[in-house]
Amino acid sequence: MKRIFLISLTILVMTNGFSQSYKDVNTAKGLPVGSKAPLFNAMDADSSTFVLADELKKGPVVVIFYRGHWCPVCNKHLSQIQDSLSLITEMGATVIAISPEKPEYLEKMEEKSGIKFRLLYDEEYKISDAYDVTFLPDSKQIFVYNTMLNAKLKETHSDDSQRLPIPATYIINKEGKIVWRQFDPNYKNRSSIREILDNLPL
């Protein structure tokens, strides 16, 4: 009986430790301005590989983290970026947007929002972890996302954790340094075209 109790206690501790290993929305802080931007490679909707180090040789890169094709605020934000994309690219910058959704769902986002810039698959949350924007929504939020917004997080992501990125925008200069960011745990607050243009390095 004592052994059964100890085994049960061990399992409970392991389970609690696992659940506590994920940050909540108020614990993830996002990399600050002035940090060296973590380099990464990622697959886009066409299964082609994007290499950040190669792109930075051409000019600054605007990195946008978004939640998924199911998110109305993300759709609106990325559509606004697309509408003014030429203003950003004329300044020599590249725009990419990253989510934990698999490539087939990146295609759905492209179709919904008319996006022409590259959407990238953050497999196993490696990129959002590196930029410290990954968090685990609470159970009520997950229920709403999966039932009312049809997110199907376990199906569309690389694992069953149902984690998401805090929507954020980073501007990285050619030297690989973060020179500006928009980061807010309130998912409704997003970067504006004006803010991006004003903070692009010349």
Note the pLDDT tens digit of each residue in 7-56.
Answer: 343 333 333 344 448 999 999 999 999 999 999 999 999 999 999 999 99
Nearest-angstrom CA–CA distance, 87 and 74: 20
Residue 134 lies in a domain: yes
Joined together, the tokens standing for residue 69 give 């094709």
Residue 51 lies in a domain: yes
- Left, alpha or beta for 15 (phi > 0: left; psi -120 to 50: alpha)? alpha
Residue 6 lies in a domain: no
Residue 14 lies in a domain: no
The confidence score (pLDDT) of residue 122 equals: 98
Asked if residue 57 lies in contact with residue 39, where contact means CB atoms within 8 angstroms, the answer is: no
Burial class (CB in 10 A: 0-12, 13-18, 19+), 81: buried
CATH number for position 55: 3.40.30.10
The confidence score (pLDDT) of residue 16 equals: 38
The confidence score (pLDDT) of residue 29 equals: 97
36 pairs with which residues across the strands? 177
Q: Which domain holds residue 161?
A: 23-199
List strand residue ranges (DSSP E) for 58-190, in order.
Answer: 61-65, 94-99, 118-121, 134-135, 164-165, 168-172, 178-183
The confidence score (pLDDT) of residue 131 equals: 98
42 pairs with which residues across the strands? 50
- For strand 41-44 and strand 49-51, is the pairing parallel, antiparallel, or unpaired? antiparallel
Whether this model's pTM surpasses 0.95: no
Q: How many domains does the chain have?
A: 1
The confidence score (pLDDT) of residue 61 equals: 98
Residue 69 lies in a domain: yes
The confidence score (pLDDT) of residue 41 equals: 97
Residue 13 lies in a domain: no
Residue 186 lies in a domain: yes
Residue 89 lies in a domain: yes
The confidence score (pLDDT) of residue 112 equals: 85
Each residue's pLDDT tens digit, 31-40: 999 999 999 9
**pLDDT < 50 regions, the chain:** 1-20
